């Protein structure tokens, strides 16, 4: 019998609620690239992103029962990752506008975009990261941000225009 990836994720999450470590390992394998990529796009620094991603899966293990089935497991993981990264950035003592040694080779364009993202409001930054950098669909990103798809689309249009201005000002 064929199950969609979301159905399979929900089945695995139900097993995680019952403390099935093998189910957790399977969910980690299925979603580790997405979670790490999201954390890296928000945190910029590889070491911080790895720590945040690890904490996301530890929180999934401890709080799996909080998923009420209103969104996909993928969106639920993104929501945990967003909150984890936000908490870590709030605790960080360095200036948010600065990009520390990113720990990875980045093109100048990507580095410029990541720096420009730091000049945006947090909600706008997360919309761009989830949709454009992490490749979530409009529906998935909206679920992760707990907003409607229509609001997300408007936010993306507005934020892309703002990013364009920031990047053009940087080039001058």
Q: Does the structure show a pLDDT above 80 at 94?
A: no
pLDDT band (50, 70, 90) for residue 119:
confident
Q: How many domains does the chain have?
A: 1
Packing angle, helices 138-145 and 149-171, rounded to 10 = 90
Boundaries of domain holding 118: 5-171
60 versus 89: the higher-pLDDT residue is 60
Query: Is residue 103 exposed (0-12), middle (13-18) or buried (19+ Cβ within 10 Å)?
Result: middle
Task: Decide: helix, strand or coil at residue 1.
Answer: coil
pLDDT of residue 116: 82
Which two three-digit tokens encode residue 135?
């490749």
pLDDT band (50, 70, 90) for residue 96:
very low
Output the average pLDDT for the chain.
Answer: 86
Q: Does the structure show a pLDDT above 50 at 10?
A: yes
User: In which region does residue 135 sit, left (phi positive, over 0), alpha (psi from -120 to 50) or beta (all else)?
Assistant: left
Which residue do the tokens 């979301």 mark?
Answer: 6
How far is 75 from 84, CA to CA, in rounded Å?
Answer: 14
pLDDT of residue 149: 95
Residue 163: CATH number of its domain = 1.20.140.160
How far is 46 from 153, CA to CA, in rounded Å?
Answer: 29
The string of pLDDT tens digits covering residues 146-157 is 999 999 999 999
Packing angle, helices 138-145 and 73-91, rounded to 10 = 50
100 versus 138: the higher-pLDDT residue is 138
Largest CA distance in the chain: 58
Count the alpha carbons within 13 Å of 165 in the hemisphere toward its beta carbon: 7
pTM of the predicted protein model:
0.74
Q: Does the structure show a pLDDT above 90 at 138?
A: yes
């Amino acid at each position: 019998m064929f199950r969609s990836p979301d159905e399979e994720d929900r089945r695995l999450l139900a097993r995680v609620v019952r403390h099935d470590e093998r189910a957790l390992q399977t969910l980690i394998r299925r979603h580790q690239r997405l979670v790490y990529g999201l954390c890296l796009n928000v945190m910029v620094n590889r070491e911080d992103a790895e720590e945040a991603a690890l904490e996301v899966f530890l929180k999934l293990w401890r709080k799996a029962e909080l998923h009420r089935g209103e969104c996909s497991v993928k969106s639920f993981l993104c929501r945990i990752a967003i909150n984890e990264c936000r908490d870590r950035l709030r605790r960080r003592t360095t200036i948010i506008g600065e990009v520390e040694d990113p720990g990875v080779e980045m093109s100048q364009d990507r580095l410029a975009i990541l720096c420009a993202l730091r000049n945006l409001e947090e909600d706008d930054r997360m919309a761009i990261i989830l949709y454009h950098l992490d490749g979530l669909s409009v529906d998935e990103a909206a679920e992760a941000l707990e907003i409607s798809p229509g609001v997300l689309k408007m936010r993306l249009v507005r934020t892309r225009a703002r990013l364009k201005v920031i990047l053009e000002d940087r080039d001058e």
